[in-house]
């Protein structure tokens, strides 16, 4: 391959395909608009100036577009992170918050390098579905205050915005329907002089770019011990949201992404954001769905431009952006909720076929996330519940059948299934110690030993027979089972 051809192969899609170029630019513009009210709202939650949230959205999006592992995913200031660091800002001040953001980034890089992303394989599909559905519910709940105790024109504006997003794509997909909806509703409210809440009512937009600097804190051990717990919590919550969102985008786009790179990229983005005096963040499910599912973006360009447009819109077109009615952005986010929610998962036909345990895991995940407003808690509780359901189901797979030889001198117990802490607990009670003949054979050729609990159970069985003067022979162990049995047998009794 010639050097020219090789360089062409390295070119991003948006440089070689005008349609992709147009899609990515327009998607970035829509997301940039959608980031403004969210970033301002999360600033309020964290107890900082609205400009801090907007700066964070800018630096997070631009940085992650370069270093992140999942193309087209949007990272910015988020509610989950704001909830974690709000107490630190309230009790110790903004300088400690910034220091925590930088330290959280360091933690994320370390966790990413240690392979924390590989833990995603242990998140079952039912938890993933619950995660997606709970996010849709949370995004919708975040819009409810914008529809409560507002002038009556807000409601027809929201309805009109939804109608535009539903029917405009039937006319053309050249321009994203959310952008059309935002422009039309803004023109209507400004031209007609309709008094409704606007983006400007959320707070003042920044008038200049952020300036890098060090956090205003004493660099002492006391400061480190103060911010470290918050930084670790922020790192874990941010990684959980980002990796789950990346996995969701993988499924939507039918493409693979590097979760390790994404973990490290989130850390780098938070460090950069911290040095620019931001509140940090992680992946945003709502804006990512606008970018990927609604607008059809697929490259890093849309992510980069979302952050770039955000700053341009705030600094250059601040007065115009301030006039955008909140009803237009609410309509966009409501549409995102409907597009994000997995309606198939709650269809009667699906619920009839789905095992009860799977449904319970999904519901528990949704309830935990919605009640705590913390995605990490919901995913952890849902995953633990799924493990318990799985363990309970597999525990019943261990069966014991006995066959006595014709001369009643030997009994052979054939054990079938997986032996681990849950299934091996009942194993000891499946043998007839008193009436069995003197020779006992336990055939494990159709079983597998997984843990120390199983070895301890087999030791207990042998001990009970030996106390009655009977001999026990264990046969049929496969190589891994034989290895763990040989290593632990006789070593697990209390000293």
Mean pLDDT of 313-332: 86
pLDDT of res. 7: 45
pLDDT at 150 over 50: yes
Please give the Cα distance from 495 to 490 (Å, whole number). Answer: 11
Q: Provide the b/e sequence for 270-300 (b: ≥16 CB within 10 Å).
A: bbbbbbbbbbbbbbbbbbbbbbbbbbbbbbb
Comparing 84-93, 213-222, 386-395, 406-415, the range with the smallest average pLDDT is 386-395
Q: Where are the beta strands (DSSP E) in 362-423?
A: 399-404, 410-419
Average pLDDT taken over every residue of the chain? 87
Percent of the chain with pLDDT over 70: 95
pLDDT of res. 14: 54
For 342-367, the pLDDT digits (tens) are 898 899 988 888 888 899 999 999 99
Classify the C-alpha dihedral 70-74-75-79 as positive or negative: negative
Q: Which two tokens mark 291?
A: 């970018």
Contact yes or no for 70/250 (Cβ under 8 A): yes
pLDDT of res. 47: 80
CA–chain centroid gap for 369, Å, is: 11
For 237-249, the pLDDT digits (tens) are 889 889 989 988 9
pLDDT of res. 48: 84
pLDDT at 452 over 70: yes
pLDDT of res. 163: 94
pLDDT at 494 over 60: no
For 48-59, the pLDDT digits (tens) are 888 888 999 999
Contact yes or no for 164/177 (Cβ under 8 A): yes
Q: Is the pTM of this model over 0.75?
A: no
Q: Interhelix angle for 154-171 vs 177-192, to 10°? A: 140
Percent of the chain with pLDDT over 90: 44
Of the pLDDT bands very low, low, confident and very high (cuts 50, 70, 90), residue 445 is very high
Which residues touch 382 (CB under 8 Å, ≥6 apart)?
126, 127, 130, 131, 361, 362, 364, 365, 368
**Nearest Cα residue to 263 out of 79, 78, 68, 122:** 68
**Nearest Cα residue to 208 out of 315, 322, 313:** 315
Helix (H, G, I), strand (E, B) or coil at 354: coil
Contact yes or no for 210/55 (Cβ under 8 A): yes
Of the pLDDT bands very low, low, confident and very high (cuts 50, 70, 90), residue 334 is confident
pLDDT at 10 over 70: no
Contact yes or no for 416/444 (Cβ under 8 A): no
CA–chain centroid gap for 83, Å, is: 16
pLDDT of res. 69: 93
Please give the Cα distance from 194 to 150 (Å, whole number). Answer: 12
Q: Which helix (H) or strand (E) holds 65?
A: helix 50-67
Helix (H, G, I), strand (E, B) or coil at 76: strand
Of the pLDDT bands very low, low, confident and very high (cuts 50, 70, 90), residue 78 is confident
pLDDT at 8 over 60: no
Output the CA torsion 116→260→26→185 (10° steps): 0
Mean pLDDT of 131-149: 84
pLDDT at 495 over 50: no
Please give the Cα distance from 27 to 74 (Å, whole number). Answer: 11
Contact yes or no for 38/287 (Cβ under 8 A): yes
Contact yes or no for 472/462 (Cβ under 8 A): yes
Burial of 411 (0-12, 13-18, 19+ CB in 10 A): buried
pLDDT at 1 over 60: no
Output the CA torsion 427→432→438→442 (10° steps): -30
Mean pLDDT of 195-220: 86
Mean pLDDT of 150-154: 93
CA–chain centroid gap for 278, Å, is: 22
pLDDT at 65 over 50: yes
pLDDT of res. 5: 47
Please give the Cα distance from 234 to 26 (Å, whole number). Answer: 32
């Amino acid at each position: 391959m010639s050097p020219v051809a090789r360089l062409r192969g390295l070119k991003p899609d948006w440089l070689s395909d005008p349609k992709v170029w147009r899609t990515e630019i327009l998607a970035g513009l829509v997301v940039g608009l959608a980031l403004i009210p969210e970033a301002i709202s999360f600033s309020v939650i964290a107890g900082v100036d609205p400009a801090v949230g907007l700066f964070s959205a800018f630096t997070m999006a631009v940085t992650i577009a370069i270093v992140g592992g999942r193309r087209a995913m949007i990272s910015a200031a988020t509610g989950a992170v704001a909830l974690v660091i709000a107490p630190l800002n309230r009790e110790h001040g903004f300088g400690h918050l910034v220091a925590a953001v930088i330290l959280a980034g360091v933690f994320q890089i370390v966790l990413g390098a240690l392979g924390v992303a590989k833990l995603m394989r242990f998140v079952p599909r039912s938890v993933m579905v619950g995660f997606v559905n709970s996010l849709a519910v949370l995004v919708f709940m975040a819009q409810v205050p914008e529809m409560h105790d507002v002038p009556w024109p807000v409601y027809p504006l929201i309805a009109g915005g939804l109608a535009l997003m539903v029917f405009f794509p039937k006319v053309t997909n050249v321009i994203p329907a959310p952008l059309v909806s935002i422009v039309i509703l803004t023109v209507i409210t400004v031209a007609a002089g309709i008094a409704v809440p606007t983006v400007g009512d959320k707070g003042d937009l920044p008038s200049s770019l952020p300036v890098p600097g060090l956090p205003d804190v004493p660099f002492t051990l006391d400061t480190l011990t103060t911010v470290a717990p918050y930084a670790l919590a922020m790192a874990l919550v941010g990684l959980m949201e980002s990796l789950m969102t990346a996995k969701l985008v993988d499924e939507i786009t039918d493409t693979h992404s590097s979760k390790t790179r994404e973990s490290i990229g989130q850390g780098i983005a938070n460090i950069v954001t911290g040095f620019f005096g931001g509140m940090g963040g992680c992946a945003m499910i709502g804006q990512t769905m606008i970018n990927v599912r609604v607008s059809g973006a697929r490259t890093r360009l849309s992510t980069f431009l979302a952050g770039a447009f955000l700053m341009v819109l705030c600094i250059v077109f601040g007065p115009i952006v301030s006039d955008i009615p909140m009803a237009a952005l609410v309509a966009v986010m409501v549409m995102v909720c409907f597009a994000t929610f997995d309606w198939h998962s709650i269809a009667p036909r699906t619920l009839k076929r789905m095992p009860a345990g799977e449904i319970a895991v999904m519901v528990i995940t949704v309830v935990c996330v919605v009640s705590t407003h913390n995605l990490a808690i919901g995913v952890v509780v849902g995953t633990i519940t799924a493990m318990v359901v799985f363990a309970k189901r597999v525990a019943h797979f261990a069966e014991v059948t006995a066959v006595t030889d014709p001369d009643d001198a030997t009994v052979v117990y054939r054990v079938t299934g997986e032996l681990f802490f849950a299934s091996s607990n009942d194993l000891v009670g499946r043998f007839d110690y008193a009436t069995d003949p003197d020779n006992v054979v336990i055939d494990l050729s159709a079983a597998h030993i997984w843990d120390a609990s199983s070895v301890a159970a087999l030791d207990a069985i042998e001990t009970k027979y030996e106390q009655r003067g009977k001999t026990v022979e264990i046969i049929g162990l496969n190589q891994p089972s034989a290895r763990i049995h040989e290593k632990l047998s006789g070593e697990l009794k209390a000293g």
